[in-house]
């Protein structure tokens, strides 16, 4: 456990970066420090591995004051991932990852073996090991950075805006990767970001900092969304707070309605006969949804016409009944969004293999929300 | 340094010659290097020929050039032309590379917007690319200027005038004050001209100064 | 000074310089003079490197004293080679010491500029990551900064070698037994052929040595550093292997 006790950081020119911070980071969890620029989140992070030393107060790791440790030795037991990765350009990817084990005395061959395992763990192809950082893309470099931080198997991982410098699609992939890794490794992670959505997505607990280094609120994301401590937190969280909070409520109790499924490639006449309320879902041979068929569209073509791409109306988002690791796609939010974004106002529910299992209506979701409130499952 | 005080006239006249011999190659070098540098920045073949060629010529010591050039140019050994050509060659080797790099560094965005505004290639070159290339170009120019001033003195070894002649004279009659005076004069000259180039460079690129100020603000 | 004979016969005569056996043997033969020339070069370059590289690395790593590099770099470039040679000879006397001293003074600035800019240009994210991993300062300098700075340090080496070879040629004016001997002999005896021969030998030496150093540069520099992109500098570098001219413009212009 990492503990901040009345930690303050003040610079010579008078600016206070962190003001009397009291905070406990739990083991095995992802704790996110989030806030606008100048709020002290990065400074606080960098005080944990003594890249910056506090002006006053103490920081304890597992009960021991970090000031008693020699900084380089302290840091070898803490993983550190930064925004631009900071990979050594003159070493291969493999040797980059093996840096800390070699530093702590592991024989090079063994260190390299471990490095290779880690590269696989973070999802890099085997060919990457022999390459040099300059030959990798930004996202790949970040993965190497994470692998490097994990190499000595440190219990604590510090991550300073690690995904901010890559494009949104790559970023999402990296975030998913991190959650998957964490499910396997259960490290104590302190993660800094300026993006509240990233904080809510990744954090088991989120610490919101205000400008001037003041901690505004420290709670689970669902509590944050339901009960922001003050105007600053609520405006920092942004709009659609209520909608986003639905992402933390599971939709597992939701009743699904039936929805007509039409095989792709059949005739228009056959399709028309299966419509209910003027709508049906076109599916492939594995029952996976391909799009919607509407009475309006079908009436514009002859009865013998084959049901092809041109006739399909693209559907909305999907609600996953068995979401596995990604709980958000099985939440009330996903269910509600599938209904709202569907052209027929019926959201499509799919199972683990992607096959259609039923449909969802917005009114059903709101009813489920009401039931959850009554059962005391909604934070307030 | 009484020697210096007694020989002001000599010092000044040699300085004049020295300056002339150092500056003319810079001017000639600029005239030759800007178009060639532009070629090298645009066309891979030009770059592949000019830059390595410049590198090779730059490797040849000045004394060697001063001996070989009379044969190629058909001049006498002590003709000032040899020195001017030699220094022009060095200046070009430096500047072509500097200018090629500078022009290549003008960001694609800027070029795209210039085209979108409606500039033709030549207009764009003079109005946009060249001015933006000035800071990097001047870095190379300063190096060329300072080393030219130093190299002119080598000319004295083959009978060419300039402050170098104070050096050789100071050697032959074992006159240390004359040697020191010459060295000091050369260094001071170089620093003055370097400073001048910095001022000119900054005047020609006021945006760079603003960028500097903005960065430190 | 000598006129230097001209005319169409020189092409034939230059061959005679190289076929004349007296030019190949004895204390003023080409092999002997080349050996001494190289000896002077290696000596000055090594001493210059030993002095300047640590200083440049220290200034680049800590940032303290960077005015030294920026401020003095241009000043050093202005120092006339001939002037230094003559001055030191007059102060110290003839012999190898004054010449070596002058050569070392001229070799220092390129190493200083190259090492400083090489170390200084290392991406600060890389250094931050190194520190965050638990590397000690010494380790960071030797295992991270200097290897990454290698391209520019080697460019500095090439510039220094070039400068020293050129100045060593000139040193024959004051009596040093370098390859410049032929040039001044020819000048004093009004024999242009000998001058030309000497000049050609020096040119060949310079080109061969530079060529070898380029090879060394290619071999020693990590493949990961091949596409060197330097901060604040051109995005597309003219050559993948930084050359002597890169050092010239890199080191002394940080004040511009």
Whole-angstrom Cα distance, residue A284 to residue A291? Answer: 10
pLDDT of residue C228: 47
Rounded to 10 degrees, what is the CA torsion of A21, A27, A28, A33?
0
**3-class DSSP assignment, residue B128:** helix
- For chain A, list the contacting chains (3+ Cβ pairs, <8 Å): C
Percent of chain C with pLDDT over 70: 83
Mean per-residue pLDDT over chain A, rounded: 88
Mean pLDDT computed over B72-97:
91
The residue of chain C nearest to residue B184, with distances taken between CA atoms, is C79
Q: Which residues of A touch C150 (CB under 8 A)?
A: 90
Q: Which residue do the tokens 């910056």 mark?
A: A52
Does the distance separating the beta carbons of C210 and B143 come in below 8 Å?
no
Residues whose CB is less than 8 angstroms from the CB of residue C252 and which lie 6 or more positions away in sequence, other chains included: B142, B143, C69, C70, C73, C74, C77, C113
Q: Which residue do the tokens 């001047």 mark?
A: B138
Mean pLDDT computed over A248-277:
80
Residue A272's CB is within 10 A of a number of other CB atoms, namely 17
pLDDT digit string (tens) for A156-185?
Answer: 999 999 999 888 988 988 898 899 999 998
Q: Does C147 touch chain A (CB under 8 A)?
A: yes
Rg (CA), chain B: 20
Does the distance separating the beta carbons of C133 and A76 come in below 8 Å?
yes
Does the distance separating the beta carbons of C148 and A89 come in below 8 Å?
yes
Q: Which of A46-50, A249-253, A301-305, B1-5 has the highest mean pLDDT?
A: A46-50
Decide if A290 contacts A357 (C-beta within 8 A).
no
Q: Does A310 touch chain C (CB under 8 A)?
A: no
- Touching status, chains B and A (3+ beta-carbon pairs under 8 Å): no
Of B101, B139, B170, the CB nearest to C253: B139
Mean per-residue pLDDT over chain B, rounded: 87
| DSSP string for B40-105 | HHH-HHHHHHHHHHHHHHHHS-HHHHHHHHHHHHT--TT-HHHHHHHHHHHHHHHHHHHHHHHHHH
CA distance A205 to chain C (A): 24
CA distances, C120 to each of A47, C55, C64, C131, C232 (Å): 26, 13, 11, 16, 11
CA distance C254 to chain B (A): 9
pLDDT-wise least confident of A79-93, C14-28, C31-45, C221-235: C221-235
pLDDT digit string (tens) for C129-171?
Answer: 999 999 999 999 999 999 999 999 999 999 999 999 999 999 9
The pair of structure tokens assigned to A376 is: 């005391």
The separation between CA B168 and the C-alpha centre of its own chain, rounded to angstroms, equals 24
pLDDT of residue C4: 45
pLDDT of residue A320: 82
Residue C129: burial class (beta carbons within 10 Å; 0-12, 13-18, 19+): buried
Backbone angles phi, psi at A190, to 5 degrees: -110, 120
The residue among C231 and A285 whose pLDDT is bigger is: A285
**3-class DSSP assignment, residue C30:** helix
Whole-angstrom Cα distance, residue A270 to residue A281? Answer: 13
Decide if B137 contacts B98 (C-beta within 8 A).
yes
Partners of A16 in beta bridges: A10
Is the pLDDT score of B23 beyond 80? yes
Is the pLDDT score of A79 beyond 50? yes
The residue of chain B nearest to residue C94, with distances taken between CA atoms, is B171
Backbone angles phi, psi at B10, to 5 degrees: -60, -45
Residues whose CB is less than 8 angstroms from the CB of residue C180 and which lie 6 or more positions away in sequence, other chains included: B63, C168, C169, C170, C171, C172, C173, C198, C202
* pLDDT band at residue C247 using 50, 70 and 90 as cut-offs: low
Backbone angles phi, psi at A253, to 5 degrees: -85, 0
Whole-angstrom Cα distance, residue C31 to residue A113? Answer: 53
Q: Which residues of B touch C184 (CB under 8 A)?
A: 157
CA distance C143 to chain B (A): 31
Whole-angstrom Cα distance, residue A208 to residue A213? Answer: 10
User: Which residue of C133, C142, C145, C220 is the best one to mutate when testing the A interface, meaning the one whose CB has the most A CBs within 10 A?
Assistant: C133
* pLDDT band at residue C103 using 50, 70 and 90 as cut-offs: very high
Percent of chain A with pLDDT over 90: 46
Whole-angstrom Cα distance, residue A335 to residue B152? Answer: 82
Whole-angstrom Cα distance, residue C169 to residue C82? Answer: 10
Q: What is the pTM of this model?
A: 0.80
Of B153, B176, B187, the CB nearest to C82: B153
Mean pLDDT computed over A228-233:
90
Partners of A188 in beta bridges: A156
Q: Which residues of B touch C183 (CB under 8 A)?
A: 63, 67
Cβ contacts from B onto C, under 8 A: 188
DSSP C23: G
Give percent helix, percent strand, percent coil of chain C, each to the nearest 5: 75, 0, 25
Mean pLDDT computed over B129-156:
89
The pair of structure tokens assigned to B55 is: 């590198």
pLDDT digit string (tens) for A103-130?
Answer: 888 999 999 999 999 999 888 998 889 9
Residue A322's CB is within 10 A of a number of other CB atoms, namely 12
Partners of A214 in beta bridges: A210
The pair of structure tokens assigned to C168 is: 């060593």
pLDDT digit string (tens) for C110-121?
Answer: 999 899 989 998
Of C227, C156, C183, C228, which is closest to residue C2 (Cα–Cα)?
A: C183
The pair of structure tokens assigned to C106 is: 């001229």
Does the distance separating the beta carbons of C2 and B64 come in below 8 Å?
no
Of C71, A300, A4, which is closest to residue B191 (Cα–Cα)?
A: C71
Q: Which residues of C touch A138 (CB under 8 A)?
A: none
Whole-angstrom Cα distance, residue C127 to residue C2? Answer: 59
pLDDT of residue C201: 93
Whole-angstrom Cα distance, residue A292 to residue A344? Answer: 8
Of B74, B94, B171, the CB nearest to C245: B94
Rg (CA), chain A: 25
Q: Does A145 touch chain C (CB under 8 A)?
A: yes
User: Which residue of C9, C72, C76, C83 is the best one to mutate when testing the B interface, meaning the one whose CB has the most B CBs within 10 A?
Assistant: C83
The separation between the first and the last C-alpha atoms of chain A, rounded to the nearest angstrom, is: 28
Residues whose CB is less than 8 angstroms from the CB of residue B66 and which lie 6 or more positions away in sequence, other chains included: B77, B82, B83, B86, B154, B155, B157, B158, B160
Q: HEC string of chain A?
A: CEEEEEEEEECCCCCEEEEEEEEEECCCCEEEEECCCCCCHHHHHHHHCCCCCCCEEEEEECCEEHHHCCHHHHHHCEEEEECCCCCCCCCCHHHHHCHHHHHCCCCHHHHHHHHHHHHHHCCCCHHHHHCCHHHCCHHHHHHHHHHHHHCCCCCEEEEECCCCCCCHHHHHHHHHHHHHHHHHHCCEEEEEECCHHHHHHHCCEEEEEECCCEEEEEECHHHHHHCCCCHHHHHHHCCCHHHHHHHHCECCCCCCECCCEEECCCEHHHHHHHCECCEEEEECCCCCEEEEEEHHHHCCCCCCCECCHHHCECCCCEEECCCCCCHHHHEHHHHHHHHHCCCCCEEEEECCCCCEEEEEEHHHHHHHHHHHHHCCCCCC
Q: Which residues of C touch A82 (CB under 8 A)?
A: 125, 128-129, 132
């Amino acid at each position: 456990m990492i503990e901040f006790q009345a930690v303050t950081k003040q610079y010579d020119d008078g600016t206070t970066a962190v003001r009397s911070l009291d905070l406990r980071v739990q083991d095995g969890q992802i704790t996110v420090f989030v806030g606008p620029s100048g709020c002290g989140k990065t400074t606080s992070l960098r005080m944990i591995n003594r890249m910056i030393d506090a002006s006053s107060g103490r920081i304890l790791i597992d009960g021991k004051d970090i000031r008693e440790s020699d900084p380089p030795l302290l840091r070898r037991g803490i993983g550190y991932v930064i925004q631009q990765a900071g990979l050594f350009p003159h070493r291969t990817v493999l040797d980059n990852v093996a840096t800390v084990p070699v530093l702590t005395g592991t024989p090079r061959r063994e260190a390299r073996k471990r490095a290779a395992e880690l590269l696989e763990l973070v999802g890099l192809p085997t060919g990457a090991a022999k390459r040099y950082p300059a030959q990798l893309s930004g996202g790949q470099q970040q993965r190497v950075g994470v692998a490097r931080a994990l190499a000595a198997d440190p219990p604590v991982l510090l991550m300073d805006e690690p995904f901010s410098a890559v494009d949104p699609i790559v970023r999402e992939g990296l975030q998913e990767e991190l959650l998957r890794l964490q499910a396997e490794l259960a490290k104590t992670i302190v993660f800094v970001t300026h993006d509240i959505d990233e904080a809510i997505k990744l954090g088991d607990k989120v610490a919101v900092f205000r400008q001037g280094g003041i901690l505004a609120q420290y709670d689970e994301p669902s509590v944050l969304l339901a009960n922001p401590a003050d105007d600053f937190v609520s405006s920092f969280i942004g709009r659609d707070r209520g909608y986003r909070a639905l992402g933390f409520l599971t939709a597992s109790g939701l009743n699904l309605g039936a929805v007509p499924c039409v095989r792709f490639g059949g005739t228009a006449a056959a399709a028309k006969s299966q419509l209910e309320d003027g709508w049906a879902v076109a599916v492939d041979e594995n029952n996976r949804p391909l799009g919607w068929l509407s009475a309006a569209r079908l009436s514009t073509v002859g009865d013998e016409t084959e049901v092809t791409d041109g006739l399909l109306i693209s559907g909305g988002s999907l609600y996953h009944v068995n979401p596995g690791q990604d709980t958000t796609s099985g939440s009330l939010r996903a269910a509600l969004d599938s209904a709202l974004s569907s052209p027929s106002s019926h959201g499509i529910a799919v199972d683990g293999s992607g096959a259609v299992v039923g449909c969802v209506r917005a009114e059903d979701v709101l009813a489920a929300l009401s039931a959850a409130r009554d059962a005391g499952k909604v934070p307030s | 340094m009484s020697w210096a005080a007694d020989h002001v006239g000599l010092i000044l006249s040699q300085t004049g010659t020295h300056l002339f011999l150092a500056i003319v190659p810079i001017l000639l070098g600029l005239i030759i290097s800007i178009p060639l540098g532009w070629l090298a920045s645009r066309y891979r073949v030009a770059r592949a020929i000019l830059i390595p060629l410049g590198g090779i010529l730059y490797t040849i010591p000045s004394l060697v050039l001063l001996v070989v050039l009379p044969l190629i140019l058909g001049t006498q050994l002590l003709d000032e032309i040899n020195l001017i050509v030699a220094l022009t060659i060095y200046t070009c080797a430096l500047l072509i590379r500097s200018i090629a790099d500078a022009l290549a560094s003008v960001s694609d965005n800027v070029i795209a917007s210039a085209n979108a505004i409606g500039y033709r290639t030549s207009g764009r070159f003079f109005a946009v690319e060249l001015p933006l290339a000035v800071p990097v170009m001047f870095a190379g120019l300063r190096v060329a200027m300072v080393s030219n001033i130093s190299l002119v003195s080598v000319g004295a070894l083959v009978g060419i005038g300039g402050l170098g002649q104070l050096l050789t004279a100071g050697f032959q009659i074992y006159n240390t004050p004359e040697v020191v005076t010459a060295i000091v004069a050369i260094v001071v000259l170089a620093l003055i001209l370097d400073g001048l180039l910095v001022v000119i460079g900054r005047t020609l690129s006021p945006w760079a100064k603003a960028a500097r100020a903005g960065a430190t603000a | 000074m000598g006129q230097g004979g001209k005319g169409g016969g020189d092409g034939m005569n230059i061959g005679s310089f190289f076929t004349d056996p007296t030019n190949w043997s004895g204390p003023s033969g080409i092999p002997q003079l080349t050996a001494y020339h190289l000896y002077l070069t290696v000596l000055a370059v090594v001493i210059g490197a030993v002095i300047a590289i640590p200083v440049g690395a220290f200034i680049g790593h800590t940032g303290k004293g960077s005015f030294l590099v920026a401020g003095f770099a241009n000043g050093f470039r202005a120092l006339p080679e001939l002037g230094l040679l003559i001055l030191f000879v007059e102060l110290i006397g003839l012999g190898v010491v004054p010449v070596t001293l002058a050569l070392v003074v001229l070799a220092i600035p390129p190493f200083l500029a190259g090492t400083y800019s090489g170390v200084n240009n290392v991406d600060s994210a890389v250094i931050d990551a190194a520190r965050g991993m638990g590397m000690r300062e010494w380790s960071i300098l030797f295992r991270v900064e200097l290897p990454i700075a290698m391209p520019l340090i080697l460019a500095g080496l090439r510039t220094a070698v070039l400068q020293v070879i050129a100045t060593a040629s000139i040193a024959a004016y004051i009596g040093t037994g370098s390859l410049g001997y032929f040039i001044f002999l020819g000048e004093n005896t009004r024999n242009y052929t000998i001058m030309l021969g000497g000049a050609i030998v020096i040119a060949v030496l310079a080109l061969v040595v530079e060529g070898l150093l380029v090879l060394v540069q290619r071999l020693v520099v990590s493949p990961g550093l091949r596409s060197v992109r330097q901060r604040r500098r051109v995005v597309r570098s003219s050559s993948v292997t930084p050359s002597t001219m890169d050092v010239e413009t890199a080191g002394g212009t940080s004040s511009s």
